[in-house]
Amino acid sequence: MMAASNVNSNHSSAHLSKSNATFAATKTTEQTNAMDIEQLQHMINCTVKKNPKAELSKSDLLRLLGYLEGELQARDVVIATLKAERVKQQVSHARYGRILPVNDPFIALQRDSRSATVGGSSTDDTALLKAVTEGPMAALEALVVQHRNSHVNLIQAMQDAETRHSQVLRELDDERRKHEHDTAQGDDITYGLEKERTRLREELEVEKQSKKKLDKDMKKLQETLDEERQRQKQIVLLLLAERKKLILKYVEERNKSEDLAQILGEEKGRVDTMAEGLEEESQKALQMEAELEKQLALFDTERAQLKAQLQREEKRTKELEMIIDKLHTEVDNLKKQQAEAHQVAMFQAGLNQPNSPPRITTTNRNSLPPGTSTLISPAGGGAMGPQLPSKPTVVPPQTPPRSVNSAGN
């Protein structure tokens, strides 16, 4: 009996040590798996945060699946171990009224020895164990159901991850094919660009040659432009000199025109004086008209004649203005003719001194008809010869006194 109890105690202690070792190993494995899962989760979170569209590779998914399976196995082992330990604690609490430490080997040996010595109480222990473990077992079953649901959710998540992984692989294959196609097209484009670059280089050389030619032409045009500019400069200098001469000539002509304007003013003054004389004559005529009321008809006729005569006088006045300039030119001719006539008269006076003609004085010269030229000796008392033919001269018309004409009429 003692041997059996010793064997049972040894078996219990061995089983307990094995359970403790298994629990420690399970706990270590769980911690390691938890650390690996945390690292993997952190890596996944970082990858998702950095690139939300990135997906896990197949090796990462297989690795994650292995971690999840190991975690489930470790969870089952832990659940079984915890269940056994919990049963033992409940039995110990029901038997001794207090909870003993599970990890104490001495207490475990005592518990095993009591169970071996007291054989008849096994049925009671089973009933007590059943009564004690009904409540915790329900909780454990609920926990198991929850873990199974979590397992199902994890499997579903793994399937979704595999689906996304396959989709990503298909997209990567499509991208690879597109890249190969783009690379092939890129080679064609590169060849076309090389041809275009060669053509552009040839065009550049042609443009350089044409630029050199244009530079030469531009240099020639610049030289021609400089020569033309020098020639135009000389022309401008000549034009300035000519302009200066024209300005001087203009000043001279302006002075001459001013002199002529002054002469014209003097002549206009004379004409005004003659007009005043005409006005006096008209006043006299009016006075005579007042005195000669009986001759109204004759006076009207005379007035009409006077008006016509006034118009003629105005015309004569205008003609005088035109003749004034001619008179200045004829003065010199008259002086020359007078000198020649004087010489001829002196010569004839010496020849015809006994039969000298009657002397014409200045008093009776006015009685001669208009157009008759008379010669007067410079001394005023010498004899005058016969009149020589001379050039026709222009004599200003003489207006007869109106009073005499009016009286005669």
Q: Of residues 244 and 41, which shows the higher confidence score?
A: 244
- Residue 13's pLDDT band, with cuts at 50, 70 and 90, is very low
Residue 44 has pLDDT above 80, yes or no: no
Overall residue count recorded for the chain in this entry: 409
C-alpha R_g of the chain: 80
Residue 103 has pLDDT above 50, yes or no: yes
Please tell me the pTM assigned to this model: 0.21
pLDDT of residue 378: 39
Kindly report the backbone phi and psi dihedral angles of residue 399, in degrees, each rounded to the nearest multiple of 5, phi listed first: -90, 120
What is the per-residue pLDDT across 391-405, written as a single tens digit (0 to 9) for each?
444 444 444 444 434
pLDDT of residue 3: 38
Q: Which of 105-114, 128-137, 341-350 has the lowest mean pLDDT?
A: 128-137
pLDDT of residue 248: 92
Q: How many other CB atoms are found less than 10 A from the CB of residue 41?
A: 11
**Which structure tokens are listed for 264?**
């014209």
Judged by DSSP in three states, 329 sits in helix
- Provide long-range contacts, Cβ within 8 A and 24+ apart, for 148-151: 151/72
Distance CA 87, CA 93 (A): 10
Strands (E), 6-109: none
For range 37-60, the mean pLDDT:
58
For range 185-202, the mean pLDDT:
82
**Domain-by-domain residue ranges, the chain?**
2-174
Q: Are 324 and 267 in contact (CB under 8 A)?
A: yes
What is the per-residue pLDDT across 285-322, written as a single tens digit (0 to 9) for each?
778 767 777 677 776 777 888 888 898 888 888 888 78
Rounded percentage of the chain residues whose pLDDT exceeds 70: 59
Residue 19 has pLDDT above 50, yes or no: no
First to last CA, the chain: 213
Q: What is the rounded (10 degree) CA torsion for 14, 19, 23, 26? A: 100
Residue 68 has pLDDT above 80, yes or no: yes
Burial class of residue 74, CB neighbours in 10 A (0-12, 13-18, 19+)? buried
**Which structure tokens are listed for 253?**
């002509």
Q: Of residues 109 and 394, which shows the higher confidence score?
A: 109
pLDDT of residue 238: 92
Give the CA diameter of the chain.
Answer: 231
